[in-house]
């Protein structure tokens, strides 16, 4: 209880903290919603991490199989939180007029979007730490060859997935639609991006599209950064481009009620 300052001041840090903590509780209590983003990547890692493949040259023993599977489950974690879970929360809030209720307080409904994104980031970070720790414990993980490149690829992939999630939330009329649109976008990106098997198995044209959608671009750049290969600048640019376009369109189209 600090302030009795002027009445026209906007909500302060205290409101932001309280709202982020609140959204954190909402996400944590949605137990079913924790299973996919945290459980599925872990399962895929454990089932596939130990393939019988030669080590990546010059990387201290990490297998080529793990060098593909780990970046894949990292992108999977980010995508499930950003493109499936977050829009589903926001569409539910709109449906039940929770955003509208906030609009008649000094808090702005846009604060909820930010708070959800912050909580989503924390959840994705927790999921990433989980798969990295398990990979290290079970499968002989090597340290990333290009930590700065990895940070860049991780940041751009996360930004692109979360911006896409905001776009899904913006255009979905109902919670059900948000879930359906989120799942379809997610599976399409994952299939085209190499999440269900190497992109080499896809027809050339389809594979080329998948390479520049966030899943494929994220997977390739993370893998390259971890193993010391060159980062493809056009894929990084594609991630940045998706972020910019999705963010701009969702800001324009977002329906508050």
Residue closer to another protein, measured from CB, 17 or 43? 17
Asked if residue 68 binds another protein (CB under 8 A), the reply is: no
DSSP code of 56? P
Q: Of the candidates 5, 54, 200, 201, which one interacts with another protein according to CB under 8 A? A: 5
Q: In the Cβ-directed half-sphere of 157, how many Cα atoms lie within 13 Å?
A: 33
The residue among 175 and 218 lying less far from another protein, judged by its C-beta, is 175
Tell me if 244 sits within 8 A of 161, measured CB to CB: no
Least distance from another protein to the Cβ atom of residue 106, Å? 4
List 32, 104, 137, 233, residue binding another protein (CB under 8 A): 104
- For another protein, the binding residues in 26-45 under the rule CB under 8 A are 26, 29-30
CA distance 98 to 251: 19
For another protein, what does the binding mask look like between residues 6 and 25, x meaning CB under 8 A? xxxxxxx-xx-xxx--x--x
3-state secondary structure (DSSP) of residue 6: coil
Q: Which is nearer to another protein, 106 or 230 (CB)?
A: 106
Q: Which of residues 123 and 158 has its CB atom nearest to another protein in the complex?
A: 123
Nearest Cα residue to 163 out of 252, 246, 75:
246
Contact status: 255 vs another protein (CB under 8 A): no
Q: Does 105 bind another protein (CB under 8 A)?
A: yes
DSSP notation for 96-151: TTHHHHHHTSSS-HHHHHHHHHHHHHHHHHHHHHHHHHHHHHHH-PPPPS-HHHHH
Token reading at 128: 């990433």
Closest approach of Cβ 26 to another protein, in Å?
6
Instruction: For residue 113, give both structure tokens.
Output: 């979007």
Return residues touching another protein (CB under 8 A): 3-12, 14-15, 17-19, 22, 25-26, 29-30, 93, 96-98, 100-101, 103-107
């Amino acid at each position: 209880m600090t302030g009795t300052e002027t009445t026209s001041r906007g909500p302060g840090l205290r409101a932001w903290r309280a709202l982020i903590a609140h959204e954190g509780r909402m996400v944590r209590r949605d137990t079913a919603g924790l299973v996919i983003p945290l459980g599925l990547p872990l399962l895929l890692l454990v089932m596939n991490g130990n393939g019988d493949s030669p080590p990546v040259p010059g990387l201290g023993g990490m297998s080529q199989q793990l060098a593909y599977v780990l970046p894949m489950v990292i992108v999977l974690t980010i995508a499930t939180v950003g493109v499936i879970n977050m829009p589903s929360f926001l569409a539910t809030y709109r449906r039940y007029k929770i955003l509208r209720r906030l609009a008649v307080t000094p808090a702005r409904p846009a604060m909820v979007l930010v708070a959800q994104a912050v909580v989503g980031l924390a959840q994705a970070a927790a999921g990433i730490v989980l798969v990295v720790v398990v990979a290290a414990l079970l499968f002989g993980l090597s340290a990333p060859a290009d930590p700065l490149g990895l940070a860049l690829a991780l940041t751009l992939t996360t930004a692109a997935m979360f911006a896409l999630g905001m776009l899904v939330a913006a255009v979905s009329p109902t919670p059900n639609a948000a879930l359906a649109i989120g799942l379809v976008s997610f599976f399409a990106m994952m299939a085209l991006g190499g999440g269900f098997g190497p992109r080499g198995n896809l027809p050339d044209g389809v594979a080329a599209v998948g390479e520049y959608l966030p899943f494929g671009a994220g997977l390739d750049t993370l893998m390259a950064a971890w193993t010391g290969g060159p980062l493809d600048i056009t894929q990084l640019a594609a991630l940045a481009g998706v972020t910019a376009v999705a963010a701009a369109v969702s800001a324009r189209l977002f329906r508050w009620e």
